[in-house]
Amino acid sequence: MSLRALSFCTLFSCSCLAFAQGGEPSLIPRPSAVDIRDGQLAISPVALLRVDPDDASSLRVARALAQTLARYGGPSLHVVDGSTARGRAATESGGIVIRLDAKAAVTQREGYVLDITPNGASLTARNEDGLFYGAMSLAQLLLPAGDRQIATLPAARIADWPRFAWRGLMIDSARHMQSVPELERILDQMALHKLNVLHWHLSDDQGWRIEIKHYPELTRIGAWRTPPDAGKDGEPKRYGGFYSQDDVRHIVAYAAERHITVVPELDMPGHAQAAVASYPEVGVTGQRPAVSADWGINPYLYNVDEPTLHFLENVLDEVMALFPSRYIHLGGDEAIKDQWEASPAVRERMRALGLKNPEQLESWLMGSLGRYLDQHGRRLIGWDEILEGGVPGDAAVMSWRGTKGIDKATRAGHDVVVAPDPYLYFDYVQSGRLDETAGRLPVQTLKSVYTFDILPPGLPAKQAARVLGAQANVWSEHMPSAAHLQHAIFPRLDALAENAWTPTARHDWQDFLQRLPEQLERYRREDIAYGDSAYAVDIEVDRAQALRDGKAQVHLANQLGKGEIRYTLDGSEPSMVSLLYRQDFTAPLPATIKAASFSASGTLLAATRQRSIDAATLHRADGSELKACPAKDIDEMRAQPTPDATSLQPVYVIDNFDTCRLTPALNADGMRSVAVELARLPRNIALAHDAHLIVPRQAATPHGELELRLDRCDGKPFAVLPLPDPTTSPAHFVLDAALSANGTHTLCLIVTGAPANPYYGVGSVQLDKAAKANGGHR
C-alpha cells in the first residue's frame, strides 16, 4: 500500500473491503475481465468527477453516481466541468474522469472500461448504458462497507460487458401491491446489480392495478377484493389499491434514470376475473363475478368478439402512452378454455374464423393484439403457452414452464427470455428452515439460482442467439409486505445478476461467496430485509440419543457450509469472541444454544438462531418438520394464517392435494398423551383442472376429524378427534389424544373432510407424560 493510501486509511480507519481476496474487485456481478496493477488510489472525501462540457450523457451518469453515493453514505463526489481549471485538475487529485469514447476498447453495447491508477480513475464507454454500468461498479467499490467515509482502491483495469441483453426481475403487484417507495428501493438495487428490465405484472384475477381513464370501473371495482374471513384475525375487510397514471409515469421515469426499462404486463385471455368483475360484457358469460380472493387458476376469460377486442385495444392505447418500452407483455398463461368451450357464441366465432380448437383461438386473439402493437411500433411478448396454437407474428416468448419452451420457441425463430419455474421463481422459499417465511415449495437456494444454466446444454448456436436473457419472477401471493418481498428477492438477486451478466467462464461459486458478505453488509446499512437463510445456522440434535444419554450431541451447520459459526451455551449473543464451532460437541440437558455465522473479518452473515433442548422439546415436532406422506402428486406451500397477514411468522406447511402429514421419529416411552396444535386457514387456492388430484378424505362428523396413526398411514387410527365448528371456535387450537405406545415412532396425521373445507396447518405435535382428555380441544 502506498504511503498516501496508508495515511488516509490510518486517519479515517477505512478498510479495503472494496477488493476481495485474490485482489479482484468485490463487485457483483463479477466483471468480464480484470487486470490488477501495482499501486493504490485514495479517494478523498471531496473527490471530483470530471466530465466534458458538451457530453450530456457523461454528465447524467456522473450525477447519478454522485447521487447514489450520497444516498447510501458514500464519499461526496463533486461533478465538475472539464473545461475549468478545477476540472482539469481532477485526475491529478485522485479524481475520476467519465466520458463517452467512440473508440473505447469494449465494443459491446453496454460495456465499459474502468481504469484505476494511483493518480486517478477514468471510466469510458461507447454509449451511456455502458457508462452507467461502469458507474454502478464504481458505486459498489466506493459505498461504505463499515464506518468509512473514503475508499482506497487498488489500481486495476476493468473491461466489462453483459452476457445477455435482457436481465430482468418480474414484480407481481396484482396479488399484493407494493407502494411506490417500495418499488423505488427495488429499482435502486436492480441498478446497482446491472439489471435492466422490470417486468411489472399489473392485472390478474385478484386485482387490476393500473388506472385506465377510458374504463374507470377497472380500478373502482377491479382493484379491490374481499378476502376470506374479511375483518377477522387481522384480515382486512377489503384489500386493494391501484397505481394512478402519475404513479406509473413516476416509476417509469425513476427506472429510466437507472437505465431500467419497465415492461408492463396485462394478463389475457385468462387471469381476467378482475377485469370481468369490472365490465362483465368483456367476459364470456355476461355475468359479473367478484374479484377473486383465491390464488391459483380461475376460469374467467376475455370474450373474443369485436367489442372486447376494441376494449383491449383501448386499454393498450393508454398503456402504450404510459410505457415507452419496446415490449408489451400480454400474458397468455394458464388460460383454461372451459368457458370458451361451453359458449355457443365462442364456438360460432371459432367456426367463422376457420379455427379448429381453443388453442388456435387464443393464438388468433394474441395475434390480433400483437399486430395492433406492431402497428404502434411495439412488440408482443407472452408466456410460453402462446406457442401452443402457433405463436403469433414476431412475438417474443417468456419460457416459464421449465426450459422446454426455450428449444421450441428458438427452433421456430422466436426470441426468448428464460424465466423458468421453479429455477428462477423467487416465490419459492430459499430454505427448509423452521423459521423460513411463507412461500412455495420445494426450496430454491441461492446456489441453485447461481448455477442455473440459462442456455440449456446442447442448444445449437443459432438458437442460442435467440435467447435475449434471463429473468427472475416474484409472484406475490405469499408476500403481503415489503419485508416478505425483500426476503424473497435478496440476496438471490445477486446470484441472478451474476448469472445473467458475467461470462460463463468467469462464473465461480466460491469466489461469489467471498464477495457476497460485503453486499450483505450494504443491505443491512440500507435496512433491506434480505433473506439470510443460506448462512443461518441449523442447530441439530439426535432426539433419541439425547433422551438416552441425558446430554445432546450438537451439530451446527448452514446451507452454504461457509463462514465461521460461533455459539454460546450461556444465553448470551454470539460474537467473534464466542466459541468457534469446529466439530460436534456435547451439551448437558437442559441447554439453550445460540449460534450465528460470521465472515472471517467479523461481519455478521445471518441473525442469531436459538434452540432450547430439554425433555419437552425432544418429545416435540414443529409443524415445519412434518413431511408430506409419500404420493405421486405433492404441491406444498408455506402458508400464512390469513392471506394478507403481514407478519413473517407463523407459517404452516400445506399440501394442496392431501392433508396427510408425517412427523419425524419421536420417542413415546413413558408418554401418555399427544397434543396437536392446529391452525385453521382459508382454502383460497383455485386448482382448476388439477382439482382431481385432491385425495378424498371422507368425514364422519360435520366438520371433519383429525386421525392419528402410528408409523403407517394406512392402518387403524389410535385416535379420531372431531374438529371444532369453524363458526364458533378460534382459528388456532389444540387437540389432545391419549397415547399408548413404547419405543420410537412416527405419527401420521390426516384431516378428513370435503375439499372445500378449510386447510388445517400443524403448528406442533407434543408428546406428554400427563394423560389428557381424548378428543378435547383448547
Q: Which residue has the cell 418500452?
A: 325
In degrees and rounded to multiples of 5, residue 582 shows phi and psi of: -120, -30
Give 391's DSSP letter: -
736 neighbors 776 (Cβ within 8 angstroms): yes
The b-or-e profile of 515-533 (16+ CB within 10 A means b, else e) is bbbbbbbbbeebebbbbbb
524 neighbors 490 (Cβ within 8 angstroms): no
* Helix, strand or coil, per DSSP, at residue 63: helix
User: 124 is written with which cell numbers?
Assistant: 469510458
Measured between alpha carbons, how far is residue 415 from residues 238, 380, 393, 466, 702 in Å? 41, 11, 12, 5, 55
Terminal alpha carbon distance of the chain: 68
* Helix, strand or coil, per DSSP, at residue 524: helix
What residues act catalytically? 204, 271, 334
Q: CB-based burial of residue 743 (10 Å sphere; 0-12 exposed, 13-18 middle, 19+ buried)?
A: exposed
Q: Is 687 left (phi over 0), alpha (psi -120 to 50) or beta?
A: alpha
Q: Is 532 left (phi over 0), alpha (psi -120 to 50) or beta?
A: alpha
* Helix, strand or coil, per DSSP, at residue 482: helix
Query: How many whole angstroms separate alpha carbon 267 and alpha carbon 324?
Result: 19
In degrees and rounded to multiples of 5, residue 761 shows phi and psi of: -90, 140
Q: State the DSSP H helix or E strand holding residue 308, giving kind and residue range, or none if neither.
A: helix 306-322
Which neighbouring-strand residues pair with 737?
674
Query: How many whole angstroms separate alpha carbon 57 and alpha carbon 64?
Result: 11
The b-or-e profile of 635-644 (16+ CB within 10 A means b, else e) is bbbbbbbbbb
| Total Cβ atoms within 10 A of residue 389 | 21
The b-or-e profile of 67-79 (16+ CB within 10 A means b, else e) is ebbeebebbebeb
User: 70 is written with which cell numbers?
Assistant: 450520497
Indicate the angle between helix axes 492-501 and 482-489, nearest 10 degrees.
40
530 neighbors 486 (Cβ within 8 angstroms): yes
Query: How many whole angstroms separate alpha carbon 382 and alpha carbon 544?
Result: 53
Contact residues for 261 (Cβ-Cβ < 8 A; gap 6+): 196, 197, 198, 255, 325, 326
Q: Which of 536, 526, 610 is nearest to 568 (CA)?
A: 610
110 neighbors 162 (Cβ within 8 angstroms): yes
Q: Which of 185, 203, 388 is nearest to 292 (CA)?
A: 203
